[in-house]
Amino acid sequence: MKIAVECYAGYQAEQEPRTLIIDGVRLRVVGVADRWRDPESSSFKVRAEDGHQYVIRHDRGRDEWTLVKVFPADA
């Protein structure tokens, strides 16, 4: 599922998700639990203000964000 993500780019220009926009709902990212890269993409596991954890992927070539998986707040 394609989503919109607002990011902060630090001095090294590495993006870090700050807000997820899923089906028009804005969710503030309260923490980044994990991050990993491959040659084509960057992935993040983030916790949002709703308590859920989201795995999101940024395809750098297409500049597209995808929602990969959602972990419920109690997981």
The model's confidence at residue 8, banded by pLDDT at 50, 70 and 90, is: confident
Where are the chain's structural domains?
2-71
**How many angstroms separate the Cα of 75 from the Cα of each of 19, 38, 40, 58, 60?**
21, 27, 29, 24, 29
Q: What type of residue is 23?
A: D
CA 6-9-15 angle, to 5 degrees, is 65
Q: What is the pLDDT of residue 75?
A: 57
What sign does the dihedral 28-30-33-39 (CA atoms) show?
positive
Q: What is the pLDDT of residue 14?
A: 60
pTM metric for this prediction: 0.89
Per-residue pLDDT tens for 24-42? 999 999 999 999 999 999 9
Q: What is the pLDDT of residue 15?
A: 77
Number of H helices, E strands in the chain: 0, 6
